[in-house]
Amino acid sequence: MELREIASALLPGVRLDSAFVAADGNVHDVLLIPGIAAVRVSKRPLAASLMPRRVEVLRHLASSGLPFQVPEPLTPVTLFEGRAAVAVSWVDGVALPEGQGSPTQIAEVLDAVRSVPLTPPLLAALDGRSEGPAWHTVIESSVLPLLPPRWQPEVRRRLDAALALPPVPDALVHGDLGGSNVHYSSDGKLLGILDWDMAMPGDAAIDAALMAWHGWPTVRQAVSPATYHRARTWDCLLGVGHLVATMNGREMTSPAGFVQAVVPWLEQNA
């Protein structure tokens, strides 16, 4: 079925005249209906199987008293020819362009996400760590052996540095902050945060590293020296945007594809 057919089935009576397809994503096709909803449709079986759990996370977040909007499920997760689909509420605002944003804005986002209590129901929906290998095991067994030989000792050293970080209590980690996922009003007020698919319990400094979309100097002014050090250590390993994909408690489905994405980042940031 086409996206518009699925949207019409999920939201009968809703006009789609202004609807448009969002920029291509790796996991979902998304039809945006401005002011009304976003319809997310899985591309692959794994995403379809994970959608009910991810929708449950949104339900818990929406009821947790956040000082910003999150997309709230408007419909049950529904299967269409093997593809899972759900409509979620519209979140107003626009993202800041890369390299823009103040330390105050970044601190506001990080503090708000970190303040969400990890209640047992939210943890049950978020935490997949016990279901599979630890993140460092994924890197050691699936990533390191496939890296070009000249990068293997250096990435091993960076992995050891990350493992040596002092433990910190788990906090809610969004896992994909920055870019188009943080929405502001025209006067710079935080309105909402989208796309919680990578959310997990973990080190809040991971989100700080992801906010380097706005520039590392700005992040440095927004967080404590200890958090900044942790953020740089996490990012240095493989690029934090790649690293979070190892932290979901699942075996890596395509280690070769992951390495293919990581090596250019290593070369660019050497």
Q: What is the pTM of this model?
A: 0.93
Is residue 26 very low, low, confident or very high in pLDDT (cuts 50, 70, 90)?
confident
Task: Indicate whether 159 pLDDT > 80.
Answer: yes
In a shared domain, residues 64 and 123: no
Mean pLDDT of 81-100: 94
State the Cα–Cα distance between residues 242 and 245, nearest whole angstrom: 6
Return the exposure string of 115-131: e unless at least 16 CB atoms fall within 10 Å of the residue's CB, then b.
Answer: ebeeeeebeebbbebee
97 found inside a domain: no
Query: With bands split at pLDDT 50, 70 and 90, how would you rate the model's confidence at 179?
Result: confident
Q: Of 33, 57, 89, which marks where a domain is finished?
A: 89
What is the pLDDT, as a whole number, of residue 36?
Answer: 96
What are the Cα distances from residue 246, in Å, to 54, 134, 155, 206, 264?
17, 8, 15, 13, 18
Higher pLDDT, 124 or 270: 124
Give the pLDDT score at 142.
94
Is the same domain home to 115 and 244?
yes
Q: What is the pLDDT of residue 160?
A: 98
Kindly state the percentage of the chain with pLDDT values over 90.
84
Residues 63, 126 within the same domain: no
How far apart are the C-alpha atoms of 248 and 246, rounded to whole Å?
6
In a domain, 96, yes or no: no
Residues 66 and 111 occupy one common structural domain: no
Residues 85, 110 within the same domain: no
Token reading at 150: 């000249």
Q: Are residues 235 and 110 in the same domain?
A: yes
Last residue of a domain, one of 89, 120, 154: 89
Q: Quick one: what percent of the chain has pLDDT higher than 70? A: 100
pLDDT bin (cut points 50, 70, 90) of residue 171 is: very high
Residues 242 and 115 occupy one common structural domain: yes
Structural domain contains residue 95 = no
- Looking at the 3D structure of the chain, how many domains does it have? 2
| pLDDT, position 64 | 85
pLDDT band at 223 (very low <50, low <70, confident <90, very high): very high
Q: Is 90 exceeded by the pLDDT of residue 89?
A: yes
Most confident of 43-47, 157-161, 190-194: 157-161
What CATH number is attached to the domain comprising 109? 3.90.1200.10
Domain CATH code at residue 17: 3.30.200.20
Of the residues 23, 55, 89, the one at which a domain ends: 89
Question: 36 and 70, same structural domain?
Answer: yes
pLDDT band at 188 (very low <50, low <70, confident <90, very high): confident
Give 24's pLDDT tier (boundaries 50, 70, 90).
Answer: low
Q: Looking at the predicted structure, is the pLDDT value of residue 173 above 70?
A: yes
Q: Are residues 254 and 136 in the same domain?
A: yes
Q: How many CA atoms lie within 13 A of 59 on its CB side?
A: 17
The pLDDT tens digits for 232-255 are 999 999 999 999 999 988 888 899
Residue 186 is assigned to a structural domain of this protein:
yes
Q: Which of 243, 250, 46 is nearest to 143 (CA)?
A: 243
- Structural domain including 32 reads 3-89
* Mean pLDDT, rounded, for 90-113: 93
